A and B are shown apart, each in its own frame.
Chain A
Amino acid sequence: MTVTHMPHSDAELGSLSGSPRRLRREAIIKQVLFGAAIFSVVVSFLIVYALLSEAWIFMRDIDWSTTWGQIGWFPRRGIYDVPTLLVATFWVTIVAMVVATPLGLGAAVYLAEYARPGVRKILKPILEILAGIPSVVLGFFALLWIAPNVVANLGGEGGRGSILAAGIGVGILTIPLIASISEDAMKAVPDALREASAGMGARKVTTVLRVVLPAAISGLAAAMIVAVSRAMGETMVVFMAGGAADAAIFTSSPYDGSLTMTAAMASLASGTDNVVGEGLTFQSLFFVGLLLFLITLALNMLANFFVRRIREQY
């Protein structure tokens, strides 16, 4: 018996694919949606262009001797000592990570490995809601509660802001971030590993420390890196509680007040209602912004690399 194929003419196929008007509408919708998607690329380009074009003027016209080894960051007097900002940023980040890493990681271990479902169902949303507390609130808290009650007991001055107070504030802000990324990473570890470990007679704590945490290490690394990037980019806490207003003298002590990269930008923009001042102050804003952008971009790409690694593993 021979199989007879249904002969189909072009006309029949054409009628199956819908009316031309309908097809045209589909094409237009696709184009509009594509336009929305490509907008993010345009924004990325604009950010890089804005930063580069203004920072370039700064880099071209600046007397580079004013950017290194000076007394401090005094943009309105034409002194742009970059190490002042970098050291302050470094200290805020270190203090923030010292506060946030044990708390965030511990909370994640508890939520992922120990908490009973009922407890988890209540505590996790609370922690997530906290992730939404605006940074100005932490700035207020760091200046008016952490400084007198915590920094004063650590040997600092309680009556004003300091790098230490700001760092603790930023740390509190990053706890939910570390907790949520780390918890996701631990949840992604297959239960078979835990069961195998228990089957070998390992205690729960041994399973967690020797099996789950090493298996989730990529995700934990990503959580740390994202937190560092977030801490460096955090502006309001440091601006409000960092203990420096328009300018900062170079200091390597976290007990002093100083300006981080972000706080320097905010104070330049807010000193008067407009960004004005000596010669290159406006451009210096973009120069510092470019530095910050490049550092955080590198950190975020590194974190993405680690996140991709866990996805490949499990």
Chain B
Amino acid sequence: MAIVTVGDVARKNAQTLQGAGRDVGGTIFRIAVAGTLYVSLLIIGVLIFDVLFDGWDQLSTRLGGFLSGTLRSRSIDDKLGVHQGLYGSFWIAAFVAIIAFPTGIAAAIYLEEYANQNRTTRFIELAIRNLSGVPSVVYGLLGLFLFVEKNTILGFIGLGWLVDLTGGPTPISAGLTLAILVLPIVIITSQEAIRAVPSGLKEGAYGVGATKSEMIRTQVLPYAAPGILTGTLLSMSRAIGEAAPLILIGAISGGLTANPSFVDVTALQDRFTALPILIVTWVSQRGRDEGFATAAAAAIVVLLVVVLLLNMTAILLRNRFEKKRG
């Protein structure tokens, strides 16, 4: 007779405790949900492969010429390229950095460090939340109303001076409009970063006699800096990829001849185009000239490189600091 050990009994009991048979339904479910994620990633893979494949003719043979070229009436033109679009997108990014970043961070500091929980604060928070959900095309209408058309508000606040400043449908108007568009993103992400600052740091600063603003400058901002930077990079990438508001305020979709260099600030008051607008333009022109589809795909690759690099930096930065502070 075999000796029955304690281990055998335990194993036998464990077997009876397991459910009947294999968990077929559960396995199918797990594979199904994993499948949805991989399908989503596959779609993006196909997308990136498709634009690379379509744009390869331009990118492989004349990348330099494509980056320095301009809008042309024929796709086989040797001077066809995206430089005018890069100029517009560069200055849009500059305006977002100069206007939306400081304003957004300042608003976040106020809301997290200064504001009392009263009706005004709740109203401001509500306004920011709602602004973050307004479709981008509506911001285009706002830009059209404020910066391109001369309007008067409530019958007495004239806005003509704004239009004189922007010069109408120009990179300045585009930059201001997109700065307003990304402002809620900057505020919300900065608020989250500031909220995560340990109160011990703040109390320490007060303990050695710092005023509130000194405490914020020496403790809150340095600690929250990576989080704030993540938010600003994401909002910058959003602004560069945005096309709808630019169409509304009158970005040029053809026949732009001037090709200013990046530092040429006088061109800021001229008509303009931007990288996403070039893509739309060339896609619409491909019926007449099939080669413009290639140009559009090549411009998409340029846009994706800029936008995805910004996003990737932002997300890696955030994950790194999250891990460090655990």
Contact = CB atoms under 8 A, between A and B. Distances in A.
Interface of A: 18, 22, 25-26, 29-30, 32-34, 36-41, 43-44, 46-47, 49-51, 53-54, 102-107, 109-111, 113-115, 121, 123, 125-141, 143-145, 172, 175-176, 179, 201, 203-206, 208-209, 226, 229, 232-236, 239-240, 262, 265-266, 269-270, 273-275, 285-286, 289, 292-293, 296-297, 299-301, 303-304
List the 6 closest pairs (A to B, CB-CB), nearest first: A233-B135, A106-B36, A134-B241, A36-B106, A300-B133, A50-B145
B137 A297 contact: no
Interface stretch (B23-31, B56-64, B66-74, B261-269): B23-31
A121 B135 CA distance: 31
Interface of B: 19, 23, 25-26, 29-30, 32-37, 39-41, 43-44, 46-47, 50-51, 54, 102-104, 106-107, 109-111, 114-115, 123-124, 127-131, 133-142, 144-146, 151, 153-154, 169, 180, 183-184, 187, 211-213, 234, 237-238, 240-244, 247-248, 250, 252-253, 271, 276, 279-280, 283-284, 293, 296-297, 300, 303-304, 307-308, 310-312, 315-316, 319
A107 B241 CA distance: 25
Given A50-B142, A103-B40, A37 B137 contact: no
Contacts, number: 286
A299 B123 CA distance: 18
29 contacts: A30-B110, A32-B106, A39-B103, A40-B127, A40-B187, A106-B37, A110-B33, A113-B33, A123-B41, A128-B315, A129-B312, A133-B304, A134-B241, A137-B304, A139-B279, A144-B50, A145-B46, A179-B40, A204-B30, A233-B138, A235-B243, A239-B247, A240-B280, A262-B244, A274-B250, A275-B144, A292-B137, A297-B133, A297-B134
Contacts of B128: 40
Contacts of A292: 135, 137-138
Nearest to B123: A41
A240 B25 CA distance: 42
Contacts of A204: 23, 26, 30
Given A50-B146, A111-B37, A145-B50, A301 B283 contact: no
B140 A269 contact: yes
A270 B281 CA distance: 10
B133 A123 contact: no
A58 to B, nearest CB: 13
Contact of B47 (A25, A123, A145): A145
Given A179-B40, A240-B280, A136 B248 contact: no
Nearest to B255: A273
Contacts of A22: 211
B244 A266 contact: yes
Contact of A134 (B30, B103, B169, B243): B243
Given A145-B50, A289-B141, A43 B131 contact: yes
B248 A265 contact: yes
B253 A273 contact: yes
B127 A126 contact: no
Contacts of B107: 33, 36-37, 39-40
Contacts of A301: 130
Nearest to A129: B311
Residue of A123, A137, A292 with most partner-chain B CB within 10 A? A137
Majority-rule SS of B interface residues: helix
A296 B23 contact: no
A44 B127 contact: yes
Given A132-B241, A137-B303, A235-B136, 14 more contacts: A26-B212, A37-B124, A39-B107, A41-B123, A46-B142, A107-B36, A145-B50, A205-B25, A266-B247, A274-B169, A286-B141, A289-B137, A289-B138, A296-B135
A232 B114 contact: no
Contacts of B54: 144
Contacts of A37: 106-107, 110-111, 115, 124
Contacts of A289: 137-138, 141
B171 to A, nearest CB: 15
Contacts of B29: 205, 208-209
B4 to A, nearest CB: 27
B35 A141 contact: no
B137 A205 contact: no
Majority-rule SS of A interface residues: helix
Given A137-B51, A179-B40, A40 B184 contact: yes
A265 B248 CA distance: 8
A175 B40 contact: yes
B293 A205 contact: no
A133 B301 CA distance: 11
A135 B243 contact: yes
B43 A172 contact: yes
A286 B140 CA distance: 10
Contacts of B145: 46, 50, 54, 286
Contacts of B144: 269, 275, 285
B250 A132 contact: no
Given A37-B106, A44-B130, A133-B304, A203 B23 contact: yes
A137 B106 contact: no
A208 B133 CA distance: 30
Contact of B138 (A51, A54, A132): A51
Contacts of A229: 133
A286 B151 CA distance: 14
Contacts of B211: 18, 22, 26
A132 B293 contact: no
Nearest to B115: A37
A32 B119 CA distance: 19
B124 A141 contact: no
Contacts of B146: 46, 50
B298 to A, nearest CB: 11
Given A39-B107, A51-B138, A269-B140, A136 B19 contact: no
